[in-house]
Amino acid sequence: MEDKALLSTEEASGAEKAELLIVIPAYNEAENIERVVNHLTANFPQYDYVVVNDGSRDETAAICQRNGYNLLNLPVNLGLAGAFQAGLKYADKYGYQYAVQLDGDGQHRPEYLESMIKKMEEGYDIVIGSRFVGEKKPFTMRMLGSNLIEMAIRFTTGVNIKDPTSGMRMFSKRMIREFASGLNYGPEPDTVSYLIRQGARVAEVPVIMDERILGVSYLTPVNAMRYMLKMLISILLIQNFRKRR
């Protein structure tokens, strides 16, 4: 990744850096990105953010540039894992204490970030915004997959994570460095499972997530089934052979 791609708006303006960086992976989110970023800048100015445009084919990058958003513009589509790792490299480069993923579709509510930071300050490495802490999961095919992943993580690590597929995850400085410097570190349940086995401490805090308002999610029923199967195989089998660099 070229240094010019990591140019920080905060650095250029001389503004004071926050302790938390919000990483916003965005692929074809032209219909949502203004609403998401403008909500952050208007109501949560205490946090820094970077939009990682993951080679979008729509106007996502142009909208960010037109509005002067802090933008990391990837020339090709790397997928969520590559886009998120690019954001963590950015966080590592500029020395943030914490980094969190908020999706570009607006489903993740930033009002829960304060409670996630407070939980991090108790000494956790990863804090997950969970829809199911103290709540019963609805019985759907998607939740069946989530339950199976929850059981697989508990079986392999002894740790119970109620919402393993939540994308709203906050990482400590140590985890930021781990993601920035390692290979194949996607923001997925199998990586969380692997990191737990390497000694990472993980906690959950209760959150409410919104439904996507505009645009189309890639997670169709078929893709969801493939995703769940991939995660189960990875957690139960592949992670046993994974080596830490």
Q: Contact, 203 vs 119, CB < 8 A? A: yes
Cα separations (Å) of 187 from 23, 43, 64, 128, 159?
12, 26, 23, 11, 18
Q: Contact, 55 vs 80, CB < 8 A? A: no
> Whats the size of the chain, residue-wise?
245
Model confidence over 37-49: pLDDT tens digits?
999 999 999 999 9
Q: Contact, 202 vs 196, CB < 8 A? A: yes
Q: Is the pLDDT of residue 4 over 60?
A: no
Q: Is the pLDDT of residue 34 over 60?
A: yes
C-beta contacts of 111-119 below 8 A and 24+ residues apart: 111/44, 112/168, 112/205, 112/207, 113/20, 113/22, 113/44, 113/47, 113/170, 115/205, 116/170, 116/205, 117/19, 117/20, 117/170, 119/203, 119/205
Q: How many CB atoms lie within 10 A of CB 72?
A: 24
Beta-carbon contacts of residue 236 (< 8 Å; ≥ 6 apart) = 152, 155, 156
**Side-chain-facing half-sphere of 143: CA atoms under 13 Å:** 9
User: Taking CA 149 as the corner, what is the angle to CA 179 and CA 24, rounded to the nearest 5 degrees?
Assistant: 40
What is the residue extent of each domain of the chain?
Answer: 3-241
pTM of the model: 0.85
What is the residue whose two structure tokens read 């804090």?
127
Residue with more model confidence, 12 or 228: 228
Model confidence over 184-197: pLDDT tens digits?
677 789 999 999 99
Q: Is the pLDDT of residue 227 over 60?
A: yes
pLDDT of residue 3: 39
pLDDT of residue 243: 61
- Strands of the sheet containing 20-26, edge to edge, are 71-74, 48-54, 20-26, 98-101, 169-172, 126-130, 202-206
Question: What fold does the segment set 3-241 form as a domain?
Answer: Spore Coat Polysaccharide Biosynthesis Protein SpsA; Chain A (3.90.550)
Round to whole Å and give the CA distance between 237 and 245. 19
Torsion of CA 98, 104, 110, 113, to 10 degrees: -20
- Structure token pair of residue 239: 């992670």
pLDDT of residue 40: 97
Share of the chain above pLDDT 70, in %: 82
Beta-carbon contacts of residue 234 (< 8 Å; ≥ 6 apart) = 190
